Structure 1
């Protein structure tokens, strides 16, 4: 039985991880006839720009595949928007080992899905393949995306023996393009590097300067810490062996006990699944009376009071930008606040058990259910055979509300 919590937690996390590998997220696509279809799209780690994608009508329907020949645009959740274009660009590597002596790119025409990095009056696009990034832009006078020219090349080091040493160089024509077409308020282009971070910031500054609304931008996932309130209804049962006859079990009435408090939750985002760790502190109390009194003796009674602290990881799987399912499991610690019972002197000051569960969240709210492992809350030197075998069993239905700004990115 002692191994049960660990086995259950490993199983829970294994199931959630496997589920995440086949995660379909809310999305859409637009076909060649400009028909837009809302659907669920399989989210995969697109390190290279895709040429096809899998989608479903509903979570239970069969998957289908669409490709770049039939689709003009598609989007997945809040993280990906791809648009189809026929572009001309060079994919020579951005390191010296894969470069050439030519300063000019060797352009090649390709039909590709460009990823939208920022959409506004001036928009930024990205194409990635095998670690090589190429950026494109549109502006007020540039309706179709144009390549922001960048190329790594090399020249021989004449100070060394021929063929033994080269000097890396970069064609940074993209800075001239920015200066000419995407510049507001004398923006400085000299320090802009050919990276998504610098170019996105530059385009954001430009659009803000122009007073243009930013319709969409890729947001970097960052660690977040949230604070919130939690209230729950605990379903509690309690029993222990009889002090006078160890073969008899003293049973108490099952009770429903309110519990309330606050929590802190820190997010560590990953691809597909967000992982968080939460610390929860709640006050709980309940009172229950023996239900199977033997003979004329007065029924036993217990008034339980404690501060409960829970610490656990939680896996979040987002089915849309505003809806999630989650799985959790961890450690629960009760700190006694003066529980009264027939064995007052034998109450453990600190007791530990484990829990596992899950639920779903909508916006700021989460509704979840937990099952706790049985635990002994009493100790006894004189009656070690009886009261030390008490058994407190709990399950819990809870509702929590996030008081921080609701933003999972």
Structure 2
């Protein structure tokens, strides 16, 4: 739990220290229907905003506009939001929070709705945390929510109110929109955009251009060879002779990184997992048990494992071709055929066990193909929590990692 808390704190602090302020060309329409071209701070909102920041010139001051002042705002080649007073149902989809009513209760609220499809029939979405609601508008009338609700039946089964399908059948009247195409349509962005595109293309086959979606995970796979500079200290409260400080060891390792770039906030955040094969081995100089003994002993370690870092990455774009990144990972280490051996002592040889630690990295990515990263490997306890000789350890170091993107 301590590792996870530190990981979260690190990422939020790094975001605050290194986060970019990107202002892009766009416009807003105020309550008097005046359209103003400005530079809008584009954070590629995951949750629908209630305000936005803008500048009138690149070197100008930063100003705010909130939902009470603005009817509409848009970023060129980006998101468009309209203000609407709508009836929205905010019932939860989480099983423990479901009620036993099929009926839907609405609240009247003023919201910024994100436009997904524009044509004879418009499709909008409102998102806030785990809540996602879709709205439609025919011929630019006031948006109406497409109704969907999960609820519990008397036998504790989960049921669904799929009224949105009947709503679509009532309003998307076109020969290309069949009953069968709507009957099993899911309450998801891609499915709804597809049916709205079909309807709008049917109504205006010459001028309508189907919508495109950037709301997708981007997956990348990289080969990641690395140079490790690591050391291991072993201590024991049972026998001072078992205390060992192994020398630093420079070794090669190889890993494969799978990265999922998240489809919001301008693709600045990613989830990564990176299975890596590593090996550490070292040996101490022979020494006597004490000044009056001829018994000579030494210690050696053979540490082979599969490391499994699971973490988050934040990108900071420098240009279209280069970016820097920060990683914070929880590293799960799975040793095999690994132990510390005490030659010349009648002592058990402790085996290395499953362990966790933190890893923090900073790197540069060029041309979406090549990368280099410096990674700090946090303190790692490599033994089981209890041993016969009360062994404790501190494995630590850093890595220089090269990356090549396969696809």
TM-score (ref. length: structure 1): 0.55
Q: Are residues 1:393 and 2:390 paired?
A: no
The answer to whether the 8 Å contact 1:24/1:41 transfers is no
Aligned to 1:371, which of 377, 382, 387?
A: 377
Q: Partner residue of 1:126? A: 124
In the aligned structure 2, how far is the partner of 1:332 from the partner of 1:126? 45
Q: Partner residue of 1:327? A: 328
In the aligned structure 1, how far is the partner of 2:48 from the partner of 2:372? 32
Q: Partner residue of 2:79? A: 81
Q: Are residues 1:352 and 2:359 paired?
A: no
Please give the per-residue CA displacement for 1:51-89, whole angstroms capped at 9, x wherever unaligned: x402589xxx9853246878975339x9x51167xx9x9
Q: Partner residue of 2:157? A: none
> Offset at 1:306?
1.0
Q: Specify the SS of the correspondent of 2:79.
A: strand
In the aligned structure 1, how far is the partner of 2:106 from the partner of 2:299? 79
Q: Which runs of 5+ in 1 are unaligned?
A: 1-5, 100-109, 137-145, 153-167, 180-185
Aligned to 2:312, which of 312, 315, 318?
A: 315
Please give the per-residue CA displacement for 1:211-245, whole angstroms capped at 9, x wherever unaligned: 999686234446x8765422222221234579xx9
Q: Are residues 1:201 and 2:190 paired?
A: no
Structure 1 66/238 Cα, relative in aligned 2: closer, same or farther at 3 Å? same
> Offset at 1:201?
0.7
What is the RMSD of the two structures over their aligned residues, measured on CA atoms?
6.0
In the aligned structure 1, how far is the partner of 2:295 from the partner of 2:105? 89
Q: Are residues 1:29 and 2:25 paired?
A: yes
Aligned to 1:7, which of 2, 7, 10?
A: 2
In the aligned structure 1, how far is the partner of 2:254 from the partner of 2:377? 17
Please give the per-residue CA displacement for 1:301-320, whole angstroms capped at 9, x wherever unaligned: 746351323253x1244556
Structure 1 343/220 Cα, relative in aligned 2: closer, same or farther at 3 Å? farther
Q: Are residues 1:261 and 2:255 paired?
A: yes
Q: Partner residue of 1:283? A: 278
In the aligned structure 2, how far is the partner of 1:355 from the partner of 1:90? 47
In the aligned structure 2, how far is the partner of 1:265 from the partner of 1:291? 46
Q: Which runs of 5+ in 2 are unaligned?
A: 29-34, 90-102, 146-163
Q: Partner residue of 2:176? A: 187
Please give the per-residue CA displacement for 1:153-196, whole angstroms capped at 9, x wherever unaligned: xxxxxxxxxxxxxxx996967424xx3xxxxxx62355558985
Q: Specify the SS of the correspondent of 2:336.
A: strand
Report how many residues are paired: 337
Q: Specify the SS of the correspondent of 1:12.
A: helix
Which of these two proteins has the greater Rg computed from alpha carbons? 1
Structure 1 54/187 Cα, relative in aligned 2: closer, same or farther at 3 Å? same
The answer to whether the 8 Å contact 2:296/2:344 transfers is no
Please give the per-residue CA displacement for 1:334-385, whole angstroms capped at 9, x wherever unaligned: 2236887747972515453422324357446573513232435699x99x48
TM-score (ref. length: structure 2): 0.55
Q: Partner residue of 1:163? A: none
Structure 1 25/326 Cα, relative in aligned 2: closer, same or farther at 3 Å? farther
Q: Specify the SS of the correspondent of 2:351.
A: coil
